[in-house]
Structure 1
Amino acid sequence: MTHQTTPTMLDTDVLIVGAGPVGMALALDLRYRGIRFSILDASDGTVVHPKVGTVGPRSMELFRRWGVAGRIRDAGWPGDHPLDIAWVTAVGGHEIHRLPFGTTDTRPPLPYTPEPEQVCPQHWLSPLLAREVGVHPEGPLRRECRVDGFRQDPDGVTAWATDLRTRERMTVRARYLVACDGASSSLRKAAGIPAPSRHATRVFRNILFRAPQLRRQLGARGALVHFLTQPPALRFPLRSMDGRELYRLTVAASGHAGNRDLDEDALAMVRAAIAFDTPLQIVSENVWYLTHRVARRFRSGRVLLAGDAAHTLSPSGGFGMNTGICDAADLGWKLAADLAGWAGPGLLDSYDTERRPVAERSLEEANVNLMRTMARELPKEILLNSEDGARARAELAKELERGGVRGEFEAPDVHFGFRYASDLVVGDGDSDSDSDGDGDGDWRTDAVPGGRAPHAWLDEGTSTLDLFGQGFRLLSFTDEPAAPPTALAALTTAFADRRVPLGTTRCHDASVAALYGKPHVLVRPDGHVAWRGTQLPADPGRLADTVRGAR
């Protein structure tokens, strides 16, 4: 007699499909807000070939909110390893140009963030986030579970999945499904959302290798990234992946797998990239296809896209994962608001309105960086050990400096300067502040509506950013007592009547007041400015309805 096993039934509020950094960031944000969620991931969690290397500064601010920034900083990157970027004919060969960034131990603090970027490659970051969220059966993350399909209805999403270890079938019922399943997202395709290509697809090889003596041999010539200048294939980075012995070399591949250039011996490529003999061991190779896509929309009913499922862009500049983590921060509070019952009908739609333009700008910025590298002329003379070679290298160094290569590795305007222009944001009548886009660096010195609320230290160890997260936060810098009481009470009541969480903070620090620009500033749960004014609003109910998407 055969026995039919009953499929596993899961019930949750948010089903996240994909446990990459973006899916895990969304899980952390939902956990922070007390929202039930489950994560299904088709992989076993092993990162054989790490792609991501550095967590950007805005992402680190968000990880600070979610309580894991310290663990990311302690993951293993040596504090004394150089963070420099060096253009070289070969590692240990002729150095053409260097951008000095010091080390994590020696770099000075930045005035605009409490959390500078941190090197934490994916083979460290992914297991760290998995431990934080919790793997089944103790936690909500289920590995080796493939989602096979889904169906939407007015009240939620039903998804079908397979446990790839046991072949057990499972059914998941959720209020919302968020696809974080990567650039070739099957869920995006099943939802009927196109993601047209914006630039030509390119093919690259990543070669991961160990060189245990290389750091010692390089000494003062060490760097986080050595940009190679040996055309045609060796014009891309050789990057340290652990600060000790693990490195990744990226090389151009003009064809598809099976072509001769892809079959070229990996060890020979690595040896060509290093100017002296050193013990080497190839760990793995990965052929990957660089696509430049932004989905036409980030929402289809109760299915939403985040990270690479919504946008894929060149790694030049390091914007990809960090754009996705900001997706999670924008989406998390909006899902929580909807599930708690205080969201207006336009709140979830604003996820697309706010995040898609940011993805489009990030894609184009990354492509500019890529094309700068692809188009750079590398005369054969730069390889010569002669006066002609020295002159050619000096000219190339001038070209690199004139070409703005620093912006590829130090791009705070991309990480921090984007502003949301949606119906949730109330402009204050200042044309510069109300403009959409990156602006002129106002994010450093002004709490522009739609922009990230600026960082300032309130006391030792406490940033203004630490005030934001659980709900809306009203910052008042006026010296008038209670500003006046009736106006503040009316605003508090308007939010409370709509069940919108609101906290208030009075600040008497003149430098912080100058940074925020107006006596009253309302900051959203994601840390972006919703409204600011010289007086509290005469119609506080209208403001409350606007910022929750009910107008």
Structure 2
Amino acid sequence: MLIIGGGPVGLMTASELSTHGATSIIVEKRSPGDPSEVKCNHVASRTMEAFRRFGIADTVRGAGMPYQHPQDVAFRTSVLGREFGRIPIPSTASRSQGDGIGPDANWATPEPPHRINQIYLNPILERHAESMAGVELRRSTECVGVAQDDDGINATLVDAGDGEVSQVRARYLVGADGGRSLVRKTIGATFHGDPVLQHVQSTYIDAPGLYQAMSARPAWGYYVFGNERQGHVYSVDGKRKFLIHTYLSLDEVEAESVDRDAAIRTILGGGKNIDYSIISTQDWTARRLVADKFREGRMFIAGDSAHVWVPMGGYGMNAGIADGLNLGWLIGAVVDGWADASILDAYVAERQPITDQVSQFAMTHLEKITAADVPGTLDVDGARGDAAREGFGRLAYDLNVQQFAASGLNFGYSYGESPIIVDDGNAPSYTMGTYVPSTVPGCRLPHVWLPDGASLYDRLGEWYTLICCRGDDGEEAQAWADELQRQTSLPMDVLSLSGVALPDSYTSEYVIVRQDQHVAWRGPRLPSDVNAFAARLGACTCDTAPEPCKGAEIPAEILSSSR
């Protein structure tokens, strides 16, 4: 596999491939030591669940802000001004002690969300990917051309240091190369949606005395609703570094038309008394764009290459990681030999509809926030000011708690239209902030803590796991799984939950779940025709089953590489 782009999406795609025995080269333009972009301050719960599987969740939680620092979002007239509302979000320490308070404190998950900027996250993911077998990260390297034939991919790479040109021949290609993706353009995919929703002036600053100047309790995020200027401020290190998003009005189209220093000082409050310095700037435009196709033959796109939308709650990065993990699992099945290339059709069927749904949620959410009428009396004394702050504080909470405690975006989406999901009913609907746990095929398997303190997810196998929900202590299920694997190529682990108190959402005797926690099938009894069933879940149907499928004899994804 050749992966263009060494951000979180590309790194996690390579990591997933490695767990299934596939090799990969990641091509990244940044040089060793170059900092990551200061963006995406939120790792979603589903992403943290994946990090748990890779053994890096605790490392991620220990990076970035101090362990005790609250991850709240505060609503203020300026960072140093009046506070009129707050979304409580537990610190890492509070979560570890089980005493956290807030709208996501009691989610049914082994890994709740975490706030960490990408400048701290990316190095962790780089170290993890490079520690895995078969992963090579080529920094200071740009891919300048790709092409495919019936058997693989040809790519031309250029070393940024000496200009040396190299050729790579790979079996598949993933473009995780951002909004200007070479791979997206190569496959002829086109972005559709809303190219301009809002202009934002973004500034990364060092303000050593800002915390000391605050009278209110520190937070992770500050939503500033001022009469002169509105914006968001996020703590990056919990000490002195902050990321400031200044939201521009419609007549401030060009970011440079706004005095950056004046805007920053207005949002921070305190005027000239606040000492700060600019570390970097990265102005951007909020968009809602989704590619009209995610694949052409052996070429795939993921992350910002496939979808760009309003960065609400960091779900652009998190959705991109979900893309990469999904694709890595599917390609891994082909490399492992139990599936043929037709299983790769599931990537588009599963991920493209979800990214479109999430982008619509994010855009609608932005429109609601933008339409909110900010009272002009938020910063005045007396009864009028008190009433304005109380009323708008409730509105600000209700609007924003959905993105910062987005249980629906984390757990609610379903792959019911996938060709490797045996659909048997309608998945419950979900919103950005709400969902109904369900074992309907395509849904995320509801979480359960096991009697030994482990998460149910910790017990899932590499491919498929047959779960005995009640009655069967695993003996009958194991006999069925043994017969399945004698006759077919489909890998199947068995896990009995007999005697475990399960939530009401577990309505079937048996559930088969994938490694990514999506239910593939459920039923009151085990299927009698194991060959037909295995084919339905993506197993190859070639005459040599259960031997590896035809075309799977090439064990490595990088067919050749010259430098």
TM-score (norm 2): 0.88
Which residue of 288, 292, 295 maps to 1:296?
292
Q: Deviations over 1:61-99 (max 9, x none)?
A: 001111211211111321221211111111121112211
1:528 aligns with 2:528: no
SS for the counterpart of 1:511 is coil
5 Å-filtered alignment, 1:449-464, equals 449-464=441-456
Contact 1:267 1:282 in 2 (8 A): no
Letter in 1 for 2:27: L
Match in the other structure for 2:21: 34
* Greater RCO, CA 8 A, separation 6+: 2
SS for the counterpart of 2:71 is coil
Give how far 1:359 is off: 0.2
1:19 aligns with 2:6: yes
Q: Higher mean Cα deviation, 533-542 or 296-305?
A: 533-542
SS for the counterpart of 1:200 is strand
Letter in 2 for 1:339: V
SS for the counterpart of 1:161 is strand
1:211 aligns with 2:244: no
Contact 2:80 2:214 in 1 (8 A): yes
Match in the other structure for 2:420: 424
5 Å-filtered alignment, 1:372-391, equals 372-391=368-387
5 Å-filtered alignment, 1:14-413, equals 14-44=1-31, 46-47=34-35, 49-107=37-95, 108=100, 110-134=106-130, 140-198=136-194, 200-218=196-214, 220-230=216-226, 234-253=229-248, 259=254, 262-276=256-270, 277-401=273-397, 403-413=398-408
Q: Deviations over 1:11-38 (max 9, x none)?
A: xxx0010011111111111122221111
Give how far 1:144 is off: 1.3
Letter in 2 for 1:479: G
Seen in structure 2, the aligned counterparts of structure 1 residues 231 and 295 have a Cα distance that, compared at 3 Å, is farther
| Runs (4+) off by over 6 Å | 135-138, 255-258, 439-443
SS for the counterpart of 1:52 is coil
Mark the runs of 5 or more structure 2 residues left unpaired by the alignment.
Answer: 542-563
Contact 1:15 1:39 in 2 (8 A): yes
Which residue of 444, 447, 454 maps to 2:439?
447
Give how far 1:284 is off: 1.4
Give how far 1:137 is off: 13
Contact 1:454 1:464 in 2 (8 A): no
Seen in structure 2, the aligned counterparts of structure 1 residues 140 and 58 have a Cα distance that, compared at 3 Å, is same
Give how far 1:274 is off: 2.1
Q: Deviations over 1:445-466 (max 9, x none)?
A: 4322111112211144411111
Letter in 1 for 2:536: T
What is the CA–CA distance in structure 1 between the aligned matches of 2:246 and 2:523, rounded to whole Å?
52
Contact 2:423 2:521 in 1 (8 A): yes
5 Å-filtered alignment, 1:495-534, equals 495-512=485-502, 514-534=504-524
SS for the counterpart of 1:292 is strand
Contact 2:29 2:141 in 1 (8 A): yes
Which residue of 532, 540, 544 maps to 1:542?
532
What is the CA–CA distance in structure 1 between the aligned matches of 2:467 and 2:350, rounded to whole Å?
23
Residues paired across the two proteins, number: 529
Seen in structure 2, the aligned counterparts of structure 1 residues 440 and 105 have a Cα distance that, compared at 3 Å, is closer
SS for the counterpart of 1:148 is strand
What is the CA–CA distance in structure 1 between the aligned matches of 2:445 and 2:126, rounded to whole Å?
29
Q: Deviations over 1:321-375 (max 9, x none)?
A: 1111111221111001112232245310110011011101110111122112222
TM-score (norm 1): 0.89
Q: Deviations over 1:237-279 (max 9, x none)?
A: 11111111110110124589994x5243433222111233333
What is the CA–CA distance in structure 1 between the aligned matches of 2:363 and 2:339, rounded to whole Å?
36
Give how far 1:136 is off: 12
Seen in structure 2, the aligned counterparts of structure 1 residues 444 and 78 have a Cα distance that, compared at 3 Å, is farther
Give how far 1:386 is off: 4.3
What is the CA–CA distance in structure 2 between the aligned matches of 1:463 and 1:509, rounded to whole Å?
16
Letter in 2 for 1:502: M
What is the CA–CA distance in structure 1 between the aligned matches of 2:28 and 2:394, rounded to whole Å?
47
Seen in structure 2, the aligned counterparts of structure 1 residues 347 and 243 have a Cα distance that, compared at 3 Å, is same
Contact 2:77 2:225 in 1 (8 A): yes
Give how far 1:494 is off: 2.5
Match in the other structure for 1:9: none
User: What's the RMSD between the two structures over aligned residues?
Assistant: 2.7
Letter in 2 for 1:268: A
Match in the other structure for 1:6: none
Seen in structure 2, the aligned counterparts of structure 1 residues 145 and 136 have a Cα distance that, compared at 3 Å, is farther
Q: Deviations over 1:116-168 (max 9, x none)?
A: 11122111111111122229999600011111111111111011110111101
What is the CA–CA distance in structure 2 between the aligned matches of 1:153 and 1:315, rounded to whole Å?
36
SS for the counterpart of 1:322 is helix
Give how far 1:491 is off: 4.0
Contact 1:16 1:40 in 2 (8 A): yes
Seen in structure 2, the aligned counterparts of structure 1 residues 508 and 514 have a Cα distance that, compared at 3 Å, is farther
Q: Higher mean Cα deviation, 149-158 or 248-257?
A: 248-257
Give how far 1:490 is off: 4.1
Seen in structure 2, the aligned counterparts of structure 1 residues 446 and 89 have a Cα distance that, compared at 3 Å, is same
What is the CA–CA distance in structure 2 between the aligned matches of 1:549 and 1:16, rounded to whole Å?
25
Q: Higher mean Cα deviation, 161-170 or 339-348?
A: 339-348
Q: Percent identity?
A: 31
Contact 1:290 1:314 in 2 (8 A): yes
Match in the other structure for 2:544: none
